[in-house]
Structure 1
Amino acid sequence: MSAHPSSLPPAGAPGAARRPAAAVALPFWMGELALIRLPLLLFAFTLVLGSLLVVLSTWYLNSQSDAMIRAQQARNIAFDQFNHVENEKLEIRDYQPQFIALRDKGLLGEERRLEWVDAIRQIQERRKLLPISYEIDAQQAFKLEGQAALGAYRLRGSRMDLHMDLLHEMDLFDFLHDLRQRSYYTIQDCSIKRGAGAPNAAVAPSLAADCTLYWLTLGSAAPGSER
């Protein structure tokens, strides 16, 4: 026998019983997070620490690379300086004999006018030349036509007007050759003409030479001197 609908209690009546809400099911792995929470924290800490170590390692590598580059540059500079010193030592060893020869012949330093005069006298006596007359002017700056690297030295010249009576041309050539062995000079001009010998002279010159020479010296440049 079926129940009449009127016999059922109305909806919302105080006596009506409520059905419980259905519970939401969580994924199965959410329940296991508590079990792996510590390993996850350790993994995160290790990841952060590893990243930090990578950054620090990269910075340290770059700083060491820069330091190595600076050390290499300093080494190259020191090596170049060492080579420069060694080259200077070799040049000094190679050019020292020439320097000594130039100094001994009077090119370097102050002019040696008395030595020039004495050299002329000795050559005249040894070669048995006729009397020689000359005049030496004051020393002046000597300019070359071309450029020459003289460093801290300046080239100077003392002009000498020379007159010689000659028996033959070789007297002049021998005199100039011997004079060059004793000192440094350059000839500006030189002329030879026939001489008029004195009729009563024991040895009459057949030629006469007039030359203009410049005695050369290399001296230190004075402060403020013209370059």
Structure 2
Amino acid sequence: MSNNPVTGKKPARARVALPYWINEFGLIRTAVLTAVAAVTIGMTCLLVTGWRQQDADAELQRVRRVRDAAYSRYAHVDNEKRDIRNFQQRYIELRERGLIGDEKRLEWVDAIRQTQEQRKLLPLSYEIDPQQPVRLESALDLGEYQLQGSRMRLHMELLHEMDLFDFLGDLRERGFFAVQDCSIKRLGVVAGAPGAAPGPTLGADCTLNWITMAPAPKVAPVVERRKGKA
């Protein structure tokens, strides 16, 4: 812009008129700032409240899970106490008869000898295999116990069939066993001397499984080992 040749002064710039609301903004500036601050504080409170609500809901769910787990444990313990009261006497009886606990092989042998003497049976022979876990066709919940079985092969000579049935019946009162198989065959009878005791007429071969329940062995956890280079 060129200077005025007469006065040598620069001409004054034209003033632009501002909108009226800018000129009057100073009157409401405090109210506007207060409103902005109030909105900001309100939004912050809403966000904090929402976060706290989420935390409270999560804590409520956790407390409910803890409560449900505690109630489940209490119900389980209460059921176990009731089962113990109901089956305690039966448990004692089964333990005394040799079903629960370690096998009583010597008592089995003694029961066989006593039954033979009381029934006046002919001489018999038997073999007992080492004890092994029993495998069932269907799953059976035995808790911490495991079925164990000792197989016994029994050979008897009989005067008649009832000798075998009476013998097995007496043994059932002294222990628990299952008859796996049993075969009876007729023997050739040889005439003895007059007045002599009658000889055997039948021969029986049976396989028995003596059953016990013992605590299952605890399996040590398998620790995975990894090889690496340092």
> Paired residue for 2:153?
160
Instruction: Choose from 55, 61, 70 the match for 1:69.
Output: 61
Aligned counterparts of 2:100 and 2:18: Cα–Cα separation in 1:
107
Count of aligned residue pairs for this structure pair: 207
The within-5 A match list for 1:85-164 is 85-126=77-118, 128-141=119-132, 143-144=134-135, 146-149=137-140, 152-164=145-157
SS at match of 1:204: coil
String of CA shifts for 1:30-82, please: whole Å, max 9, x gaps: 56544333222222221211111111111111111122122222223333333
Aligned counterparts of 1:214 and 1:129: Cα–Cα separation in 2:
21
* Percent of aligned positions that are identical: 31
Q: Is the 8 A contact 1:107 1:216 kept in 2?
A: no
Q: Provide closer, same or farther for how the CA distance between residues 117 and 201 of structure 1 changes in structure 2, counting only shifts above 3 A.
A: farther
> Aligned letter for 2:132?
A
Aligned counterparts of 2:66 and 2:182: Cα–Cα separation in 1:
57
Q: Provide closer, same or farther for how the CA distance between residues 26 and 160 of structure 1 changes in structure 2, counting only shifts above 3 A.
A: closer
Q: Does 1:190 align with 2:183?
A: yes
Aligned counterparts of 2:111 and 2:200: Cα–Cα separation in 1:
25
What RMSD, in angstroms, separates the aligned Cα atoms of the two structures? 3.6
Q: How much does 1:157 deviate?
A: 0.9
Aligned counterparts of 1:209 and 1:184: Cα–Cα separation in 2:
24
Aligned counterparts of 1:83 and 1:189: Cα–Cα separation in 2:
47
Q: Is the 8 A contact 2:121 2:163 kept in 1?
A: no
TM-score of the two chains, using structure 1 as the length reference: 0.69
Unpaired runs of 5+ residues, structure 1, are 1-11, 15-20
Q: How much does 1:191 deviate?
A: 0.8
Q: Is the 8 A contact 2:154 2:205 kept in 1?
A: yes
Q: Is the 8 A contact 2:124 2:156 kept in 1?
A: yes
Q: Provide closer, same or farther for how the CA distance between residues 143 and 49 of structure 1 changes in structure 2, counting only shifts above 3 A.
A: closer
Aligned counterparts of 1:223 and 1:56: Cα–Cα separation in 2:
52
Higher Rg of the two aligned structures: 1
